[in-house]
Amino acid sequence: MKTKITEMFGIEHPIIQGGMHFVGFAELAAAVSNAGGLGLITGLTQRTPELLANEIARCRAMTDKPFGVNLTFLPTVSSPDYPGYIRAIIDGGVKAVETAGNNPQKWMPMLHEAGIKVIHKCTSVRHALKAESIGCDAVSVDGFECGGHPGEDDVPNFILLPRAAESLKIPFVASGGMADGRSLVAALALGAEGMNMGTRFIATKEAPVHENVKLAIVAATELDTRLVMRPLRNTERVLRNAATDRLLAKEAALGANLKFEDIIDEVAGVYPRIMQKGEMEAGVWSCGMVAGLIHDVPSVKELIDRIMREADTIILQRLAGMAKS
């Protein structure tokens, strides 16, 4: 399938694997890229630029296809070594970067001078327009359904994607609620040039996470996610578990007096315990409503091949049949 996104990133299928903390390692990124999509290493999961350089080299040894790095710009006082991370990306020959979080404008010249295409993750049209204005090559438009941080506007993709199509000149992909061929065709129909999948890629054979995590996603329905940290305006969609219930109880009890320190035990440093050790009640972890559409744990290639087969069938048979007079 040929779209502006496949042409921009030199990939076969318009499918991007989202950056996910303690999920986006070389194993998964290489598997997605080898299957024709764009795999992404999660930059800040690697604690130092040197470790990111090693992870890029590991991925390069596993695939000769294009892959990228996700780099989230955090609003913290003691920032990570972003110049070091970007230098590791450039020196590693990576040509695609997914940025997220704070405005990446400061780093755009450095990335573009190295010939790197930048796709920025946005949860609103106004943020997407800002990304376009600072020179981002594409954006990932993240609807309210998404796992992780959906922003504070609560606009689902059936509205957000066509609004983006009306407003943007640069191409965009749909993120949030994406799982299968139906998702891809719907995203294309609403104006996107492809789709970004996060939660769906966690439930694959190559995802380097504990089997408990994959089984939890398969067992979940579309009703099993919750929004946490909304009072702090740092809303995150997570899978419901005991930690989620504890956190929400604290939010309800403290109300307007809630501070991040009150919930730190449920959110800080929990990802290694959950993703690597399978301690499913250790804390809250990002998961999209799309869990309700995930029923198996295929290989990445099986998943992407199935998505493209489904999409072709829908476009060439179902929709084409409807278009006949």
- pLDDT, tens digit, for every residue of 267-298? 999 999 999 999 999 999 999 999 999 999 99
**Would you state the pLDDT for residue 74?**
86
Q: What are 126-166's pLDDT values in tens digits?
A: 999 999 999 999 999 999 999 999 999 999 999 999 999 99
Specify whether the CB–CB gap between 213 and 241 falls below 8 A.
no
Nearest to 156 by CA among 145, 168, 167: 145
CA distance 306 to 99: 28
CA distance 4 to 264: 42
Give the chain's residues under pLDDT 70: 77, 325
If 0-12 CB within 10 Å is exposed, 13-18 middle and 19+ buried, where does residue 171 land? Answer: buried
**Would you state the pLDDT for residue 252?**
97
CA distance 157 to 145: 8
CA distance 107 to 224: 38
**The model's pTM:** 0.96
Q: For 121, which DSSP code?
A: E
Question: Looking at the chain, how many residues does it have?
Answer: 325
Specify whether the CB–CB gap between 55 and 76 falls below 8 A.
no
C-alpha neighbours within 13 Å on the C-beta side of residue 196: 29
CA distance 146 to 175: 7
From the centroid of its chain, how far is CA 206?
17
Specify whether the CB–CB gap between 204 and 299 falls below 8 A.
yes
**Would you state the pLDDT for residue 324?**
76
CA distance 187 to 15: 11
Q: Give the start-to-end residue ranges of the domains of the chain.
A: 4-208
**Would you state the pLDDT for residue 325?**
60
**Would you state the pLDDT for residue 77?**
63
CA distance 25 to 269: 18
Name the one residue in this structure whose structure tokens are 């989202």: 18
If 0-12 CB within 10 Å is exposed, 13-18 middle and 19+ buried, where does residue 128 land? Answer: buried
CB atoms closer than 10 angstroms to residue 119: 29
CA distance 60 to 26: 8
CA distance 161 to 187: 8
CA distance 123 to 72: 14
CB atoms closer than 10 angstroms to residue 43: 29
**Would you state the pLDDT for residue 118?**
98
Pick the CATH number of 4-208 from 3.40.50.10860, 1.10.10.10, 3.20.20.70, 3.90.1170.50: 3.20.20.70
CA distance 149 to 71: 15
Nearest to 284 by CA among 75, 21, 16: 21
CA distance 94 to 113: 13
Contacts 24+ apart (CB under 8 A), 260-265: 260/232, 263/228, 263/229
